[in-house]
């Protein structure tokens, strides 16, 4: 992707151009298009809708006098890679991925936040950018803003390593599937990740963190827990309102610390 694209050049998938971003160099990336408006309005009650195409729905917010893009990525690494490729070409340098997650450690409770410091690369998309030996590591500065935000708001959180899988079912060793079968490669993997002190499963961070490092950008990841693996395989929708409220509050505070320069730098 040419980094010197014209200001009015609409990119194919996200359907955005530089003019529409109005100088925004920071993006918040939920997976679900349905969460974009809620997230944007939590950041800025006067946030405005930009465009929606496929899994990419975008709103523009303002905080501390600076523009912030909120853009959904859909599920999984391939759609995340497209989003980062195109947003990076439009001048976006800082990425906060937000989402929901299934925790795999007993000490983590429903609606707690998990702040990812690095990801196990169980995806395939990131291998198109760097070999598996290349680590998927979150940016230190952005991650520190997330930690400080959670502490400021007294939201329970955990920080550590995330397992980032291309699939929701076999890659996360779920047996509640159509076939009930998990390939040998993943059998026993849940217990292994628990022993290795991995905190949770999700499906996007490995691709995001790898691409950001390869491109010289900054990315961080925070997720709210809506399932505790080992207790219940199915996400608990009843906890979703609290989980989303905590997540939105944390990201707004982290953005405020970043954009105003009041936090760690």
**Are 225 and 106 a contacting pair, CB within 8 Å?**
no
* Catalytic (active-site) positions: 13, 86, 174, 229
pLDDT, tens digit, for every residue of 189-247? 999 999 999 999 999 999 999 999 999 999 999 999 999 987 777 777 889 999 999 99
Of 108, 96, 124, nearest to 257 (Cα)? 96
Tokens read off for 223? 């997720």
Domains of the chain: 18-260 (3.40.50.1580)
> pLDDT band for position 65 (50/70/90)?
very high
Among 111, 141, 113, 149, which residue's Cα sits nearest to residue 252?
149
Task: Provide the whole-model pTM.
Answer: 0.95
State the pLDDT confidence band at 8, using cuts at 50, 70 and 90: confident
CA angle 239, 224, 26 (to 5 degrees): 135
């Amino acid at each position: 992707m040419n980094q010197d694209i014209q200001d009015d050049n609409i990119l194919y998938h996200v359907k955005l151009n530089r003019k529409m971003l109005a100088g925004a160099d920071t993006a918040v990336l939920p997976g679900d298009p349905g969460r974009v408006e809620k997230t944007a309005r939590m950041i800025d009650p006067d946030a405005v809708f930009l465009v929606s195409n496929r899994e990419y729905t975008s709103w523009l917010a303002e905080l501390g006098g600076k523009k912030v893009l909120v853009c959904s990525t859909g599920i999984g690494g391939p759609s995340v890679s497209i989003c980062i490729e195109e947003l990076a070409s439009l001048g976006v340098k800082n990425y906060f991925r937000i989402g929901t997650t299934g925790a795999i450690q007993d000490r983590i409770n429903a609606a707690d936040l998990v702040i990812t410091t690095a990801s196990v690369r169980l995806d395939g998309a990131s291998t198109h950018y760097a070999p598996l030996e290349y680590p998927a590591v979150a940016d230190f500065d952005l991650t520190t803003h997330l930690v400080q935000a959670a502490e400021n708001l007294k939201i329970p959180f955990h920080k550590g390593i995330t397992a980032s899988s291309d699939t929701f079912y076999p890659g996360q060793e779920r047996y509640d599937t159509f076939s009930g079968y998990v390939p040998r490669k993943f059998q026993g993997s849940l217990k292994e990740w628990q022993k290795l002190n991995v905190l949770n499963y999700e499906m996007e961070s490995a691709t995001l963190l790898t691409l950001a490092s390869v491109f010289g950008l900054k990315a961080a990841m925070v997720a709210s827990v809506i399932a505790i693996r080992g207790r219940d395989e199915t996400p608990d929708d009843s906890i979703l309102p609290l989980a989303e409220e905590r997540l939105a509050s944390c990201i707004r505070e982290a953005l405020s610390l970043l954009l105003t320069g009041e936090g760690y730098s």
